[in-house]
Chain A
Amino acid sequence: MKDVLENIEGQFEMFQVLDENGEVVNKDWMPDLSDDDLKELMRRMVYTRVLDQRSIALNRQGRLGFYAPTAGQEASQLGSHFALEEDDYILPAYRDVPQLIWHGLPLYQAFLFSRGHFHGNQFPEGVNALSPQIIIGAQITQAAGVALGIKKRGKKAVAVTYTGDGGTSQGDFYEGLNFAGAYDAPAIFFVQNNQFAISVPVEMQTNAKTLAQKGVAAGLPSYQVDGMDVLAVYAATKHVRERAVNGDGPALIETVTYRYGPHTMAGDDPTRYRTEDMTSEWEKRDPLVRLRKLLEKKDLWSEDDENKVIDDAKEDIKKAIKKADDYPKQKVTDLIDIMHEELPNNLQEQMEEYKEKESK
């Protein structure tokens, strides 16, 4: 009888391209990105960091509702998204709003989503994505379905779904991986291991040494990637995407990352479960700093470039908030209206009742 566990766990290594000093440490995997692409990646990360800071501030002023901070996870979120194409279908979790925005969701709609307005979930034609999933794990089995559908339709695309370290404990996670594997469906299961599920550290979440190894049981190629290294995340995602669209089936990527902020803005207090030392250790691996160092060495990025992105982002946010403010307030009759294609009799009656209420 052979115990393979140690063997399997021991074989996972953290995939890295760009180290903390902005040095390319893995030339074989340095992605084939133009200077403009590299700058665009940088721009998106800076923009998203600003968006995060502004969203937190707006939430504190009572001008945004539900919000899950993203700072620290930009490389995981934007590096993976950068490897996707427009036709790829995204099934995000609540923290994955940045990917949606770069996939084409207008900012004001992201704000309306946060404020609990249904229009925030009415994605424009061509934005191939679901709105952020609140139920941990629900999107993962659905991703297997989207991927199988893509395959049946013969499209050259993938379904990519995001979850966290905590999400890998749900039964839905294993079911989704297994289904996609069984059908050889073009799915990418993307796990952002930010070390905590609210307060629960990943070490208490599972006895598995890596989350990547959870894909092995389902027969999926699975990788553990430095989630603070945007080039590694991009390269890994590009790789598994190509496999998938070429009919080689699904894969799993675990990015090892960290959220700097609280879990959400609804009263989470990180000092109850982690030290400030831990946070500052992770900040040293910051994804923005790393790429900036590389770009500066290549003379591709300056303080002016950075400031311009910051100003642009602030301006966009201002306009989007204004647009969200101006959007008609949501009414109960709107909600009745979106329940069914044709209103059944109970709702017809209630529609009249609430029209009257709302007219008062």
Chain B
Amino acid sequence: MAQKTMIQAITDAMHHELKNDDNVLIFGEDVGQNGGVFRATEGLQDEFGEERVFDTPLAESGIGGLSLGLALQGFRPVPEIQFIGFTYEAMDAINGQIARMRYRSGDSKSAPITIRTPFGGGVHTPELHADSLEGLIAQQPGIRVVIPSTPYDAKGLLISSIRNNDPVFFMEHMKLYRSFRDEVPDEAYTVELDKADVKREGKDVTLIGYGAMVHTALKAAEELEKDNIEAEVIDLRTVSPIDTETIVESVKKTNRVVVLQEAQRQAGVASNVISEIQERAILHLEAPILRVTAPDTVYPFSQAEEVWLPTHKDVIDKVNEVINF
């Protein structure tokens, strides 16, 4: 085992799957010789050749359509959308076509495609690079949305996604790419899709998040411990569909919930999580479920990012509210 960053874990996963299955193809803008703008595909073209790992012309709608076409020829495409905001360019390909392939062919065709894309704020990018667009894809039936929060999960979830016979939109938080390391086994392993993970156990309140917000929740939990509040932290990992079982189990124990997302209040999947809880466990709740989100503006020009992005302090405030309700 070795200590790896999330970006290394992601490269590792693609490396295993390129080796494991000749049908796996990796492509996107600058993923070849350049190894991707974040170096996620570093060295893969050298090792597996241009037939398996290749650059595309600059057109995301084209990348989406190409993926679906290759899938119809039995390949298992792992395209990269260079930054999250360019997903809009590929929106018809993803939501309109890829997600609907199995359905519209009456289950006679499939689209085993894993679309990888970096997202998330705090790294001072220009417009349309840092948005949290998981909600847009999560609203589309037929495609999963997976968002890892640790290097270990990233590798296992990416391998599971690539092996899955349905499409996955795989979002990698930029801030987590190199911010810390984790024990990551050298061999291939899977982490189950559609399964949330309890990242920290506690009995007083359940914090539910995904991506970078898991770390915000963990930081808040550490602080709260000083006040003798034991927070349980659930990492959704797959944000569509939502693992209601793990959530409800936790709610039954803590009776109090705060849901976190980096996305704006009107976006993301928090409202979905809350609806599921109130339908399934309302009688276990001692307080309203509160949310920690960004405000309903367009993702900020980079200068106001720090205030705009939710922080662990916001989480602590909301936890105190639900505890003192």
Residues of A within 8 A of B (CB): 65-66, 94, 115-118, 120-121, 134-137, 166-167, 169-171, 197-200, 204-206, 266-268, 272-273, 329-332, 334-336, 339, 346-347, 350, 353-354, 357-358
Q: How far is the CA of A329 from the CA of B61 in the complex (A)?
A: 37
- 9-residue interface stretch from B6-14, B274-282, B300-308: B300-308
B37 adjacent to A134 (CB under 8 Å): no
- Looking at the assembled complex, report how far the CB atom of A9 sits from the nearest CB atom of chain B, in whole angstroms: 18
Q: Give the contacting residue for A200; candidates B29, B265, B295, B307; CB below 8 A.
A: B29
Q: How far is the CA of A121 from the CA of B295 in the complex (A)?
A: 21
- 9-residue interface stretch from B105-113, B121-129, B147-155, B232-240: B121-129
Q: Give the contacting residue for A135; candidates B29, B89, B297, B301; CB below 8 A.
A: B89
Q: How far is the CA of A306 from the CA of B304 in the complex (A)?
A: 40
Q: Which residues of A contact B58 (CB under 8 A)?
A: 136, 166-167, 169-170, 197, 200, 205
A339 adjacent to B298 (CB under 8 Å): yes
Q: Which residues of B contact A329 (CB under 8 A)?
A: 303
A135 adjacent to B124 (CB under 8 Å): no
With A115-B302, A330-B304 given, is the CB distance from A171 to B62 under 8 Å? Answer: yes
- Looking at the assembled complex, report how far the CB atom of B29 sits from the nearest CB atom of chain A, in whole angstroms: 7
How many residue pairs link A and B with beta carbons under 8 A? The number is 120
- Looking at the assembled complex, report how far the CB atom of B264 sits from the nearest CB atom of chain A, in whole angstroms: 10
A272 adjacent to B59 (CB under 8 Å): no
With A272-B33, A273-B33, A339-B298 given, is the CB distance from A116 to B307 under 8 Å? Answer: no
With A200-B58, A346-B265, A347-B296 given, is the CB distance from A272 to B35 under 8 Å? Answer: yes
Q: Which residues of B contact A205 (CB under 8 A)?
A: 57-58
Over the window 119-144 of chain B, the binary record of Cβ atoms lying under 8 Å from chain A Cβ atoms (1 yes, 0 no) is: 00000111111000000000000000
Kindly identify, within residues 261 to 287 of chain B, every residue whose CB is under 8 Å from any CB belonging to chain A.
265-266
B126 adjacent to A134 (CB under 8 Å): yes
Given contacts A198-B34, A336-B297, 4 further A-B contacts (CB under 8 A): A65-B302, A116-B124, A335-B300, A354-B307
- Looking at the assembled complex, report how far the CB atom of A97 sits from the nearest CB atom of chain B, in whole angstroms: 12
- Looking at the assembled complex, report how far the CB atom of B174 sits from the nearest CB atom of chain A, in whole angstroms: 11
Q: How far is the CA of A117 from the CA of B88 in the complex (A)?
A: 24
With A116-B124, A117-B303 given, is the CB distance from A350 to B57 under 8 Å? Answer: no
Q: Which residues of B contact A166 (CB under 8 A)?
A: 57-58
Q: Which residue of B lies closest to A339 (CB)?
A: B297
B296 adjacent to A339 (CB under 8 Å): yes
B30 within 8 A of A: yes
CB-CB nearest 10 A-B residue pairs? A116-B302, A199-B34, A166-B58, A169-B57, A116-B301, A330-B303, A169-B58, A350-B295, A66-B126, A116-B303
B59 adjacent to A350 (CB under 8 Å): no
A332 adjacent to B33 (CB under 8 Å): no
Q: Give the contacting residue for B125; candidates A66, A118, A167, A198; CB below 8 A.
A: A66
Q: Which residues of B contact A199 (CB under 8 A)?
A: 30, 32-34, 55
B85 within 8 A of A: yes
Interface of B is mostly: loop
A332 adjacent to B302 (CB under 8 Å): no
Q: How far is the CA of A266 from the CA of B61 in the complex (A)?
A: 25
Q: Which residues of B contact A354 (CB under 8 A)?
A: 295, 307
Residues of B within 8 A of A (CB): 29-30, 32-35, 37, 55, 57-59, 61-62, 85-86, 88-89, 124-129, 265-266, 295-298, 300-305, 307-308
**Counting chain A CB atoms within 10 Å of each CB, which of B124, B127, B304 scores highest?**
B304
Q: Which residues of B contact A339 (CB under 8 A)?
A: 296-298
Q: Give the contacting residue for A346; candidates B32, B125, B296, B302; CB below 8 A.
A: B296
Q: Which residues of A contact B297 (CB under 8 A)?
A: 332, 335-336, 339, 347
Q: Which residues of A contact B124 (CB under 8 A)?
A: 65-66, 116
- Looking at the assembled complex, report how far the CB atom of A102 sits from the nearest CB atom of chain B, in whole angstroms: 22
Q: How far is the CA of A199 from the CA of B128 in the complex (A)?
A: 21
Q: How far is the CA of A246 from the CA of B292 in the complex (A)?
A: 57
Q: How far is the CA of A169 from the CA of B55 in the complex (A)?
A: 13
Q: Which residues of B contact A137 (CB under 8 A)?
A: 59, 89
Q: How far is the CA of A171 from the CA of B93 in the complex (A)?
A: 13
A206 adjacent to B57 (CB under 8 Å): yes
- Looking at the assembled complex, report how far the CB atom of A196 sits from the nearest CB atom of chain B, in whole angstroms: 10
Q: Which residue of A lies closest to B85 (CB)?
A: A135
Q: How far is the CA of A276 from the CA of B26 in the complex (A)?
A: 29
Q: How far is the CA of A260 from the CA of B126 in the complex (A)?
A: 22
Q: Which residues of A contact B35 (CB under 8 A)?
A: 272
- Looking at the assembled complex, report how far the CB atom of A66 sits from the nearest CB atom of chain B, in whole angstroms: 5
B86 adjacent to A135 (CB under 8 Å): yes
A sample of 28 inter-chain contacts (CB < 8 A) reads A65-B302, A66-B125, A115-B303, A116-B301, A135-B85, A135-B127, A136-B58, A137-B89, A169-B62, A170-B59, A170-B61, A197-B29, A198-B37, A199-B33, A200-B29, A204-B55, A205-B57, A206-B57, A272-B33, A272-B35, A330-B300, A330-B304, A332-B295, A332-B300, A332-B308, A346-B296, A347-B295, A347-B296
Q: Which residue of B lies closest to A334 (CB)?
A: B304
- Looking at the assembled complex, report how far the CB atom of A149 sits from the nearest CB atom of chain B, in whole angstroms: 24
- Looking at the assembled complex, report how far the CB atom of A303 sits from the nearest CB atom of chain B, in whole angstroms: 38
Q: Which residue of B lies closest to A338 (CB)?
A: B297
Q: How far is the CA of A120 from the CA of B126 in the complex (A)?
A: 13
Q: Which residues of B contact A336 (CB under 8 A)?
A: 295, 297
B128 adjacent to A135 (CB under 8 Å): yes
A200 adjacent to B30 (CB under 8 Å): yes
Q: How far is the CA of A120 from the CA of B301 in the complex (A)?
A: 10
Q: How far is the CA of A331 from the CA of B295 in the complex (A)?
A: 12
Q: Which residue of B lies closest to A165 (CB)?
A: B58
Q: Which residues of A contact B34 (CB under 8 A)?
A: 198-200, 272-273
Q: How far is the CA of A312 from the CA of B302 in the complex (A)?
A: 30
